[in-house]
Amino acid sequence: MASASKRSKLGEDPAVSNFREYLRFKTVEPNPDYTGANAFLKRMGDELGLPVRFIEVHPGKIVVVITWEGTHPHLKSIILNSHIDVVPVFPEHWDCDPFEAKKMANGDIYARGSQDMKCVGIQYIEAIRRLIRDGKRMMRTIHMTFVPDEEIGGNLGMGKFTQTAEFRDLNVGFGLDEGLANPTEKFSFYHGERAVWWVEVTCVGQPGHGSQFIQDTAAAKLQKVLTAFLNYRDQEEARAKKSGKLGDVNTPNLTYVSGGVAKNVVPSNLTLLFDLRVSPDTTPEDMVKKLDELVAMGGSGVSYKLLRKDISYTTPLGDDNTWWKTFEKACEKEKMDLHIEIFPAGTDSKYLRALGIPCFGFSPMNNTPILLHDHNEYLNEDIFLRGISIYETIITDIANVPDA
């Protein structure tokens, strides 16, 4: 593969140009403009000579599906998923316009979505472009899906899509979705993710005038509960540092505090909200037991309820999992060292796994700092182009699995 400096003399690789064009569409939550991006994806599908469908799963929420039919279409298909939307930006903290897709002299491409995850969507397209160009055919049908809404939970994107007849007709047997960058030589690989629990803790105590030493206040109880949660957080952080895998532990983080009625009134109620990510290694029963223990530290008048309690689904890895063994061997061909983890946050993979569809999270970005949702998000063009070659191998092997 030519270096960035050599390519600059020959002109930019068309795959990089397509990547940068895709990055310039401002598909920013909470009000993404999908029109331009969807038209761009339609053009990509047309260039490949593949059919493109637009499936509106909710008003204004359109899933784009580009399909490459296999030679054995009766076999279960492969879904290559990516999301179109990106998170908000704070331009004052960026070194350049976050939607300019500016390429630096060393090949770093700065833009929101460069890592999360417009890179992967284009890498799918460009890998399949190369395979078609070389006259290759796959046994299994491949569906590239480009979905909305992921950055705000995916409920009205992949969540809705998986409930439709159009999705059932895809006959999906295996899926690939997003992963994370890895700052080392290794490539991060995910076969599950932590469950999202939102814990609302209510502390009820004695109210009174702000000039008094009121006893048994909601604030005193809040302090005890918060201390208990933060101590637990410290314990889990220590475990994470020891294992080096954030997805193996639980992360309780305080995200919201509310209460009070006036500046001079001691409130009778105060509320805490914790965003808790639960590892698949912790059973729901054990997590509830731990929450009972933590909340009890506040004493009487302290209770909690779960505003959200997701289930953690994983795709087991082992010699009896043909998809895993095939993926692993494809990575060996590419001389890739995988770092196997549980995804620490949430992706659209959960909707596929919930249906019993094996799914892996993978974004081929090694030697790259993790900058999703961060200022100055970037991806180097050499890393991006290497990812296309990696997907060529993975897609070829996965889509030619005869039986699974």
Q: Which of 275, 308, 341 is the last residue of a domain?
A: 308
pLDDT in tens, 311-324: 999 999 999 999 99
Query: Cα–Cα distances in Å, from 237 out to 51, 184, 241, 284?
Result: 48, 21, 6, 20
Peptide bond just before 369 cis, omega within 30 deg: no
Locate all alpha helices (DSSP H) within 244-344, ordered by sequence.
284-296, 322-333
Cis, bond preceding 117 (omega within 30 deg of 0): yes
Please state the rounded mean pLDDT for residues 70-74: 97
230 and 153 within one domain: no
Mean pLDDT of 278-293: 97
Q: Is 150 a catalytic residue?
A: yes
Statement to judge: residues 206 and 351 lie in one domain? no
| Domain range enclosing 258 | 197-308
Residue pair 279/250 in contact (Cβ under 8 Å)? The answer is yes
Quick check: is 187 in a domain? yes
Q: What percent of the chain has pLDDT over 90?
A: 97
| Residue 81 CA: distances (Å) to CA of 23, 64, 178, 183, 379 | 17, 10, 8, 24, 19
Is position 404 within any domain?
A: no
Q: What is the pLDDT of residue 353?
A: 97
Give the whole-angstrom CA distance, residue 158 versus residue 172.
Answer: 14
Instruction: Please give the average per-residue pLDDT across 269-274, as a whole number.
Output: 98
Considering the domain architecture, whether residues 204 and 164 belong to the same structural domain is answered as: no
Measure the CA–CA gap between 110 and 91, rounded to whole angstroms.
Answer: 12
In-domain check, residue 100: yes
Predicted pLDDT of residue 54 = 98
Q: Is 85 considered catalytic here?
A: yes
Alpha-carbon span 394 to 129, nearest angstrom: 14
Active-site residue among 13, 85, 177, 377?
Answer: 85
Total structural domains within the chain? 2
- If asked whether residues 182 and 97 sit together in one domain, one would say yes
Q: What is the pLDDT of residue 10?
A: 54
Class of residue 270 by CB neighbours under 10 A (exposed 0-12, middle 13-18, buried 19+):
buried
Residue 404 pLDDT: 73
* Shared-domain flag, residues 95 and 184: yes
Name the average pLDDT for the chain. Answer: 96
Q: Which of 293, 308, 323 is the last residue of a domain?
A: 308
User: pLDDT, tens digit, for every residue of 190-240?
Assistant: 999 999 999 999 999 999 999 999 999 999 999 999 999 999 999 999 999
E-strand spans in 179-290?
A: 187-193, 195-204, 208-209, 251-259, 265-266, 269-278
Contact 4, 87 (CB under 8 A): no
Give me the CATH number covering residue 151.
3.40.630.10
Q: How far apart are CA 273 and CA 19, in angstroms?
A: 39
Same domain, 111 and 51: yes
Q: Give 106's DSSP letter.
A: T
Task: Please indicate, yes or no, whether residues 147 and 249 belong to a single structural domain of this protein.
Answer: no
pLDDT of 4 reads: 44
The answer to the question of residue 175 being in a domain is: yes
Of 13, 150, 248, 377, the active-site residue reads 150
CA separation for the pair 365, 119 (Å, rounded)? 10
Q: Which of 308, 333, 354 is the last residue of a domain?
A: 308
Does residue 30 sit in the same domain as residue 179? yes
Say whether both 278 and 317 belong to one domain: no
403: in domain = no
The CATH number linked to 287 is 3.30.70.360
pLDDT confidence of residue 259: 97
* Domain-located, residue 249: yes
Residue 68 and residue 155 in contact, taking contact as beta carbons nearer than 8 Å: no
**369 pLDDT above the threshold of 70:** yes
User: Do both 31 and 114 map to the same domain?
Assistant: yes
Radius of gyration of the chain from its Cα atoms, rounded to whole angstroms: 24
Whole-angstrom distance, CA of residue 359 vs CA of residue 352: 7
Question: What is the band of 133 on the pLDDT scale with cuts at 50, 70, 90?
Answer: very high
Q: pLDDT (tens digit, 9 = 90+) per residue, 89-128?
A: 999 999 999 999 999 999 999 999 999 999 999 999 999 9
Q: State whether 225 and 103 are in the same domain.
A: no
Q: Do residue 184 and residue 280 come from a single domain? A: no
Encoding tokens for residue 336? Answer: 């890739």
350 and 343 in contact (C-beta within 8 Å)?
no
pLDDT single digits (tens) 2-36: 444 344 445 899 999 999 999 999 999 999 999 99
N-to-C CA span, the chain:
34
For residue 321, give both structure tokens: 């999992």
